[in-house]
């Protein structure tokens, strides 16, 4: 079996010149790559005590749900504003060009629950920072944040300082 890094397709000059796009779909479309990524996240959580897995749409669902299932934990989806049917809390955050708002159900996290956040990629960290704030607003405790890939040059970890952040693959640039 190859290393996980070997399943990532790198596309130069996308979406603009000078950017190397790291494509997670090439991990997903290979059974071994998918297994390596899910097993790798589970391994990161081996010594962690937690109650619930939280993941943002859509790729946080792809990686978070199998982890939650394998570890017999619940899964909480975080979605774009207006996509969840019950009472929600929301958080806005800045993007490179503009802003976005995400939501989670108000009853999704109970006070005192230990939470793991799972997503495919950390870049600038804005989405995950917003999720952390929502979890804490509901009384949850974020005990670990796991990513398949990290673009270290975009300094997303700086927004998550003080939290246990792990990634399976770390690219030094952006």
Name which of 57, 164, 170, 79 is nearest 115 in CA terms: 164
Q: Yes or no: say if 108 and 76 are a contact pair by the CB < 8 Å rule.
A: yes
Any idea what DSSP says for residue 86? S
The secondary element (H helix, E strand) that includes residue 144 is strand 141-151
Phi and psi, residue 65, nearest 5°: -65, -45
Q: How far apart are CA 174 and CA 155, in angstroms?
A: 9
Active-site pick, 16, 47, 87, 96:
96
Active-site pick, 57, 59, 79, 106:
59
- Catalytic annotation on 96? yes
- Catalytic annotation on 103? no
Beta bridge partners of 169: 149
Q: Which residues are catalytic?
A: 59, 96
């Amino acid at each position: 079996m190859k290393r996980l890094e070997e399943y990532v397709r790198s596309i130069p000059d996308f979406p603009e010149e000078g950017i190397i796009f790291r494509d997670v779909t090439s991990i997903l479309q290979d059974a071994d790559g998918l297994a390596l990524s899910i097993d790798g996240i589970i391994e990161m959580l081996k010594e962690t005590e937690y109650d619930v897995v939280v993941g943002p749409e859509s790729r946080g669902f792809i990686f978070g749900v199998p982890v939650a299932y394998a570890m017999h934990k619940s899964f909480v989806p975080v979605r774009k504003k207006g996509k969840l049917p019950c009472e929600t809390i929301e958080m806005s955050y800045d993007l490179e060009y503009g802003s976005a708002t995400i939501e989670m159900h108000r009853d999704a996290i109970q006070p005192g629950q230990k939470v793991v956040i799972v997503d495919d990629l950390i870049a600038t960290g804005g989405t995950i920072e917003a999720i952390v704030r929502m979890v804490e607003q509901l009384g949850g405790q974020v005990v670990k944040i796991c990513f398949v890939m990290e673009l270290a040059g975009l300094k997303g970890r700086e927004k998550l300082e003080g939290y246990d952040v792990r990634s399976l693959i770390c690219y030094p640039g952006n």
